A and B are shown apart, each in its own frame.
Chain A
Amino acid sequence: MTDMTASALTPPRASTRGLSPAARLWRETWGQREFRFGLILILTLIAASILVPLVTGIDPAKMQIKDKYLPPVFLPGGTWAHILGTDHLGRDLFVRSLIGLQYALGISFTTVILMFLFGSMVGLVSGYFGKVVDALLMRLTDAQLSIPLIILAITLLTVSRPTVPLIIFVLAVSGWPVYARVARGVTLSERNKEYVRAAQILGASHWRIILTMIAPNILPPIAFVAVLDLARMMIFEAILGFMSIGVQPPTPTFGNIIADGRKYLINAWWIATMPGGFLLLALLSINLMGASLERARNKLFSGQI
């Protein structure tokens, strides 16, 4: 009822009439400074991670002992040849970070898609059909939620050799329950709404209702969790690398660079901190985009745009 009076009092602006909801969402999102900032930053970083190793031809694994412990460019002794400096073996930290970013993004992106699909499917089915199906799936979800990711991850990855698919599997396995929970919660409240009843009366099948009526409603709230999880999974990938159960050297990842650098913290503090700062920048751009997207969505669905 409050919703009713609010929308009756505040009809949408005339200028956005006629645009599709997706177009309005995009307009509002793009209108926010932090979104543009985040998008440009992450695109630049991605472009750099692909182009810089190609263009400069610097091999991230190439050691040049004479160039070891070079500080970043903004410190005395730094050179433009090694913007973020070099590590204890003379490897260029900027290129190593860029390669690390490729892996981090690739792994977290795949992971998020997997757990998004699996988790929301479980949640939809559980919430829609209820009863025994629900009870079974929810116990499974709770079990998964109750065991911290890190315990499961280090157990699995220490017992078997850490490969990229296994890392993705481990991260996805520990991440899906949140999606299942959110999806189930929304499904439960949506499935009793009149429009679901209306669709049943129209003759729509259960799967049509789940996929075309309920899923579009639950996907937006989950999609924003997913954008934020993209960043979270990058952190987890780095943690695994840091505990030396991530992608194995000589492939550089944020985790193993920082773990290596930690040993030389006192002599060359930039080895551990610079790649971390680089990762922070990437995460920040993703998180800012997620936050702006969510704000725009809230406006759209409260009828403000």
Chain B
Amino acid sequence: MNAPATSSSPARSERETILAVEDLGIELVRGAERRAILDGVSFAVPERGLIGIIGESGSGKTVLGRALTGWVPEPLRQTRGSVAVAGRKLSQLTNEELRQLRGRTVGYIGSDPGTSFDPTLPIGVQIAQKLRAVVPHTGWAAAKKRVLDLLDQVRIPSAARRFDEYPYQFSGGMLQRAAIVDALVAQPKILICDNITQPLDVTIAAQIVRLLRGLERDLATAIVFFTSSVPVAKELIDDLIILDKGRIIERGPKDRVIARPAEAHTRRLIDSSPRIWGKDVDVPRNTTAAALPSDVLLSVEDVVKTYRVPDRTRFSGTLEVKAVRGVTLDIRAGENVGLVGESGCGKSTLSRLLSWIETPDRGHIRFQGKDMAGLRGKELLAMRRKFQLLLQDPYNCLPPHLSVAKTIRTSLDIHGVKRAEARERARAVMHEVGLKDDDAERLPIGMSAGQRQRVNIARALVLEPTLLILDETLSSLDPAEQSRLIDLFERLQAKHGLTYLVISHDLALVRKVCSRVAVMYLGKIVENAGNARIFDNPGNPYTRALLSAVPVLDKGPFNPAECLVDGEPPSPINVPKGCSFATRCPKAADLCRSSEPLFSTSEQNRNGVACHFPYH
């Protein structure tokens, strides 16, 4: 089965069908309530076929992906149709037959690598145990060898050591690679990938897509790839299926579907996909306006933050996590500044410092010219009203026990607004962000990510701030919801004269809304320039690597083969000597490994780049 799928393989039409879904209907049944989740879905996948199923969240993709493995948990119920794998209908199998089929013939990779493995067992052991469970008479040594080979093949560094490490010691990208190994270990005939790049950083997601593309050639397996992102699907897949509200609304070869979508919904999906380059990309209207000097609203000067964690390998002592290693940044009134970088680069720490819930070890943060460190009590409270941070995770950032209206009113309550007035203003702001009156008494648990994020926005907005810091606020939303919220942010900016600091790993978003972009790597800003400069002619190789990894429909100016970086960022505990990017930089020279480049500024001290060989 390991034989490479070369040109000698039969043409597609001659291949046998490995997966056949016919008129599949799944309903949510609870008491008297019945709601269709999937409604008459039919498609087939030939052996070694590649199919991409694109749908927004709520379109039924996750339910469909699970149903392909025979996993239809309560309160869902399959009401009609069938799923057949290798000619066998899943609903007619006994539990034991289904189990055999699942392990050997179908491989499944979920969207959340963090919870895919048992936290109490080493990763390698779990994968080897799976192999032994589904392929009888596999010896432990043989199983281990097979797992190690595959771990190597998905480019997990020092696989032999990682075999015995626990999930919490793996990063998200590494876990997703391990999940791929787990799905492939018993050489399945079909691989189901449910939104597997969604939670990952762009550079890591690009590596995973590249990896899958390689594996697809080497292994003889069919792939059903579920995603909410059209560009990601385009990278990998030949045939697309568009899923909307539980129905297949369109299907066909990717070039045709993307170029000439037949359905309005498909067109909307494609239009809302991220675009960075190309003619029809709208860049911020205020790009030129921001060139006019305006007052500095927030000034960050050489800020440093280091955490100490206990060292578990020694009897005593601590390790220093250098989260922010000297950041300088100005934000002027009315401009939108983007701060980008991979996870772990110190963005979140910086946002905590900027929102003054943690104080820097060194350096100054000034808001409207006042040093935050000098403010106390009432003065500080009044100042807090003017800048608000919107947090990343819409599932945890709202108090779970408070209704929406109460959550919003709490903001005003903190700042001493009278109850009757607070009620009125909360109502007004709810309307403004697009929440309805009957959402007022709901708890966050029943709400969608987008709705929660609106509550979150309302809660900050009701204080009438001047600066809003958006810390990955939009990254967990699907593209359509995201673009609706971007519109909302634009409307709010026009109406209230807000300034935004957008902290994100999503470059397309930053391209769309920010007039100025700062790129952060390992606790430092490595490049800071205007929107056009950053995206069309970046100075730092790291910026180029980030840009080349973004999945976009339009063609970018950077060749991924040339710019894309391997591996993951170094740990902030062991910051490499010299330029911190030198360990991954395709252009690194000896100088880079020995001395750290200074941040050289130009153009009224606003643009700058930290690289020994900028624009090289």
Render B353-372 as a binary contact track against A, CB cut-off 8 A, 1 for contact: 00111000000000000000
Taking CB atoms, residues of chain A closer than 8 Å to B112 are: 1-2
A216-B442 contact, Cβ under 8 Å, with A3-B395, A197-B391, A203-B414: no
A198 at the interface (CB under 8 A from B): yes
Instruction: Check if A18 sits within 8 Å of B414, measured CB to CB.
Output: no
Min C-beta distance of B470 to chain A, whole Å: 12
A18 to B30 alpha-carbon distance, docked (Å): 20
Q: How many interface residues does chain A have, given as a range?
A: 35 or more
A7-B400 contact, Cβ under 8 Å, with A17-B438, A201-B357, A204-B414: no
A21-B401 contact, Cβ under 8 Å, with A9-B63, A13-B33: yes
Min C-beta distance of A279 to chain B, whole Å: 35
Instruction: Check if A203 sits within 8 Å of B399, measured CB to CB.
Output: no
Q: How many interface residues does chain B have, given as a range?
A: 35 or more
Instruction: Check if B459 sits within 8 Å of A11, measured CB to CB.
Output: no
A8 to B381 alpha-carbon distance, docked (Å): 37
Min C-beta distance of B149 to chain A, whole Å: 30
Taking CB atoms, residues of chain B closer than 8 Å to A7 are: 445-446
Instruction: Check if B393 sits within 8 Å of A201, measured CB to CB.
Output: no
From residue 379 to 434 of chain B, which have CB atoms closer than 8 A to chain A? 380-381, 384-385, 388-389, 391-393, 395-403, 410-411, 414-415
Instruction: Check if B438 sits within 8 Å of A9, measured CB to CB.
Output: no
Instruction: Check if A197 sits within 8 Å of B395, measured CB to CB.
Output: no
A10 to B393 alpha-carbon distance, docked (Å): 20
Residue on A nearest B381 in the bound complex, by CB: A203
B448 at the interface (CB under 8 A from A): yes
Instruction: Check if B448 sits within 8 Å of A8, measured CB to CB.
Output: yes
Min C-beta distance of A78 to chain B, whole Å: 49
Instruction: Check if B446 sits within 8 Å of A203, measured CB to CB.
Output: no
Taking CB atoms, residues of chain A closer than 8 Å to B397 are: 193-195, 197-198
A200 to B441 alpha-carbon distance, docked (Å): 24
Q: Which of A10, A21, A202, A302 has the most CB of B within 10 A?
A: A202
Min C-beta distance of B341 to chain A, whole Å: 20
A172 to B62 alpha-carbon distance, docked (Å): 51
A121 to B357 alpha-carbon distance, docked (Å): 24
Render A212-223 as a binary contact track against B, CB cut-off 8 A, 1 for contact: 110011001000
Taking CB atoms, residues of chain A closer than 8 Å to B445 are: 7, 301-303
Instruction: Check if B446 sits within 8 Å of A11, measured CB to CB.
Output: yes
Render A96-138 as a binary contact track against B, CB cut-off 8 A, 1 for contact: 0000000000000000000000000000000000000000000
A12 to B439 alpha-carbon distance, docked (Å): 12
A267 at the interface (CB under 8 A from B): no
Instruction: Check if A9 sits within 8 Å of B401, measured CB to CB.
Output: no
Min C-beta distance of A305 to chain B, whole Å: 10
- Chain A interface, DSSP helix/strand/loop, else mixed: helix
Instruction: Check if A12 sits within 8 Å of B446, measured CB to CB.
Output: yes
A20 to B381 alpha-carbon distance, docked (Å): 31
Taking CB atoms, residues of chain B closer than 8 Å to A3 are: 395
A194-B396 contact, Cβ under 8 Å, with A1-B115, A216-B401: yes
Render A184-215 as a binary contact track against B, CB cut-off 8 A, 1 for contact: 00000000011101111111100010001100
Instruction: Check if A195 sits within 8 Å of B446, measured CB to CB.
Output: no
A286 to B381 alpha-carbon distance, docked (Å): 46
B435 at the interface (CB under 8 A from A): no
Instruction: Check if A193 sits within 8 Å of B396, measured CB to CB.
Output: yes
Taking CB atoms, residues of chain B closer than 8 Å to A220 are: 401
Instruction: Check if B391 sits within 8 Å of A194, measured CB to CB.
Output: yes
A220 to B401 alpha-carbon distance, docked (Å): 10
Taking CB atoms, residues of chain B closer than 8 Å to A56 are: none
B28 at the interface (CB under 8 A from A): yes
From A9, A193, A202, B384 is in contact (CB under 8 Å) with: A202
A66 to B31 alpha-carbon distance, docked (Å): 62
Taking CB atoms, residues of chain B closer than 8 Å to A13 are: 30-31, 33
From residue 140 to 183 of chain A, which have CB atoms closer than 8 A to chain B? none
Render A1-40 as a binary contact track against B, CB cut-off 8 A, 1 for contact: 1111101111111100111110000000000000000000
Min C-beta distance of A303 to chain B, whole Å: 4
Min C-beta distance of B309 to chain A, whole Å: 15
Min C-beta distance of B198 to chain A, whole Å: 10
Taking CB atoms, residues of chain A closer than 8 Å to B114 are: 1
B10 at the interface (CB under 8 A from A): no
A17-B400 contact, Cβ under 8 Å, with A8-B58, A201-B384, A202-B411: no
Instruction: Check if B388 sits within 8 Å of A201, measured CB to CB.
Output: yes
Instruction: Check if B391 sits within 8 Å of A217, measured CB to CB.
Output: no
Residue on A nearest B463 in the bound complex, by CB: A202
Taking CB atoms, residues of chain B closer than 8 Å to A11 are: 446
Residue on B nearest A4 in the bound complex, by CB: B395
A208-B355 contact, Cβ under 8 Å, with A7-B446, A194-B396, A195-B398: no
A217-B403 contact, Cβ under 8 Å, with A20-B441, A203-B385, A203-B415: no
Residue on B nearest A20 in the bound complex, by CB: B441
Residue on B nearest A303 in the bound complex, by CB: B445
Min C-beta distance of B5 to chain A, whole Å: 34
Min C-beta distance of B386 to chain A, whole Å: 10
Instruction: Check if B441 sits within 8 Å of A19, measured CB to CB.
Output: yes
From B75, B393, B402, A194 is in contact (CB under 8 Å) with: B393
From residue 338 to 359 of chain B, which have CB atoms closer than 8 A to chain A? 352, 355-357
Taking CB atoms, residues of chain B closer than 8 Å to A4 are: 395, 449
Taking CB atoms, residues of chain A closer than 8 Å to B115 are: 1-2
Taking CB atoms, residues of chain A closer than 8 Å to B111 are: 1
Residue on B nearest A216 in the bound complex, by CB: B401
Instruction: Check if A8 sits within 8 Å of B57, measured CB to CB.
Output: yes
A sample of 11 cross-chain residue pairs with beta-carbon separation below 8 angstroms, ordered by A number, consists of: A1-B112, A12-B446, A14-B33, A17-B442, A21-B401, A194-B396, A202-B388, A202-B459, A203-B381, A217-B401, A301-B401
With A12-B446, A201-B356, A301-B400 known, 13 other A-B pairs at CB within 8 A are A2-B112, A10-B30, A17-B438, A193-B396, A194-B392, A194-B393, A197-B397, A199-B410, A201-B388, A203-B380, A216-B401, A300-B443, A303-B445
